[in-house]
Chain A
Amino acid sequence: MRDLTPQLLELIRLASTNPPPDVETSLREAFAKEAPGTAAYNALDTILKNVEMTRRNSTPICQDTGTPLFFVRYPEGYSPRQLREQIRAAVMDATKKTYLRPNAVDSLNGKNTGTNLGDQYFPTIHFEEAENDSLTVELILKGGGCENVGAQYSLPDNQLNAGRDLEGVRKTALDAVWRAQGEGCAPGFLGIAIGGDRGSSYIASKEALLSKVGDQNPVPDLAELEQTITDQANQLGIGPMGFSGQTTVLGTKITTTHRLPASFFVTVSYMCWAYRRRKMTVAGDQVTYE
């Protein structure tokens, strides 16, 4: 198996320093909606200038380069063990080159490892064997501010008057956005999972964030709910950084997973505006990034 460490390093550099085009387009559309001179307008202006600078200088968009979340689909014959070693080597290199901040902290003694490498869960790597011949590695860098405002609800929820249906999902999503206020670096993106157990629901909510902003949900009811949640979240008026304004949520993605008869979880993963998501595809000798 070939050594992909340099290509993985480039994936990390790209993710940390250059936002995907669909995200930047969303930010520019939001900027156009705010009135000049307002704090919300100035915040988005600063955000866009920062993005231009980080792309030019190859420096991190945000100093919290977050938990690196890798989603790997490998063809038959690849070794997940070797891929894990290469990913870990690339994360360590990226940290030395200051594309990433050393973020792995021992939860018992508080020591930062300094390398960004922790136990088998840090960085987080999900493996799945692919059906075709190409290897894909998708990476999300998810910062702590937005991760901290993620939420999981067990329906029915009396306080929200939220039942076990899509209407209940809508109510929990809006409640999560309200609770987050500006703390998750609004305007954000929502990855929502309906169903699963508590663990699988959180993972699915993050997988929902792998799709592009403009991708259409193949399930019409979910596509409609995504739009409703985004529209209504923006009616809350929390705005960029929580300064009040027109845009609080830039997009919503919903996925479902099977659940137990007894459980109905709705899990909301909040992604900050610095939605650092990149993908690398290896097909034969060709390596491409998107």
Chain B
Amino acid sequence: MTIKLNFPISDQDIRSLNVGDSVLLSGVMITGRDSVHKWLEDTFVKKTRQPQADDLQVFEAIQPILNGGAIYHCGPVVGGLDDRQYRFVAAGPTTSIREEPYQGDVMRLFNLKGVIGKGGMGPLTLKACQDVPGVYFHAIGGAASLIAQTVKQVLGVHKLEFGVPEAMWVIQVEDFPVVVTMDAKGNSLHSVVREQSRQVLDQLIG
């Protein structure tokens, strides 16, 4: 069975999700990956760096979308760069584990309900999923054009100076397909598979 959810997502809806659930997401969400997470952590969580340039305006613009919303680990291929008539050509997930040092903090900072990516994340993020609460939604890696079809409109972009793949693209999606692989109850498909495959590995390399 496939569950349909719209942003913003309530705590109750998030808590009802289980590992293995197929979900179609609709509404406005934002892409963010390596540069964005480091920028958020340094400027707004640890505050080791003073806000500069448009930092505060960008924060104010993304805050209402991320509150109850989702961040998508994605560096898209974007058309229409010359005339700013942006469209997503290819937009699959990038590997999420690189954001493990920052993700929990960012979830708490914004009351983020969903983290979307691929490959799963570690114990810090799983703990934040229980606390906030939130879940990790796994998209299909490499299914870039198929996923781009669910991006109905590019509403805007922040921090384009980070580069096209690293910028924050504000997108309107419809029936964006994901699977819950880490839920708000402390379950992670990734830790289960890692442990089971570890046991087989031990037998095979003895």
Contacts and interface: CB of A to CB of B under 8 A. Distances in A.
A264 interface: no
B155 interface: no
Nearest to A248: B197
A143 to B, nearest CB: 8
A174 B205 contact: yes
A60 B140 CA distance: 15
A50 B146 contact: yes
Interface string A231-257: 010011111011110000000000000
Contacts of A64: 75, 92, 94, 165
A184 B141 CA distance: 9
A101 B145 CA distance: 13
Given A60-B90, A64-B75, A235-B204, A43 B164 contact: no
- Is chain B's binding surface mostly helix, strand, loop or mixed? mixed
Interface in B127-164: 138, 140-149, 162-164
Interface string A261-285: 0000000000011100000000000
Interface in B4-48: 20, 22, 35
Contacts of B196: 237, 244
Nearest to B149: A53
Contacts of A196: none
Contacts of A81: none
Nearest to A233: B204
Contact of A50 (B77, B95, B144, B197): B144
Interface residues of A, number: 56
Nearest to B96: A183
A114 B22 CA distance: 36
B144 A183 contact: no
Interface in B80-97: 89-92, 94-95, 97
Most buried by A among B119, B138, B141, B206: B141
Interface string A51-64: 00110010111111
B118 A98 contact: no
Contacts of B3: none
A182 interface: yes
A171 interface: yes
Given A64-B94, A101-B77, A175-B201, A241 B163 contact: no
A285 B177 CA distance: 47
Nearest to A182: B119
Contact of A112 (B94, B142, B164, B193): B164
Contact of A242 (B75, B119, B143, B163): B119
Nearest to B202: A178
B205 A103 contact: no
B64 interface: no
B142 A50 contact: yes
B197 A43 contact: no
A68 B193 CA distance: 32
Nearest to B20: A39
Closest 8 CB pairs of A and B: A112-B163, A183-B119, A63-B90, A185-B141, A50-B146, A50-B143, A60-B90, A274-B142
Interface of B: 20, 22, 35, 74-79, 89-92, 94-95, 97-98, 118-120, 138, 140-149, 162-166, 177, 179, 181, 189-190, 192-194, 196-198, 200-201, 204-206
Given A101-B77, A112-B163, 13 more contacts: A42-B22, A46-B143, A50-B147, A59-B77, A63-B90, A98-B77, A102-B163, A102-B164, A112-B166, A144-B95, A181-B120, A181-B194, A182-B141
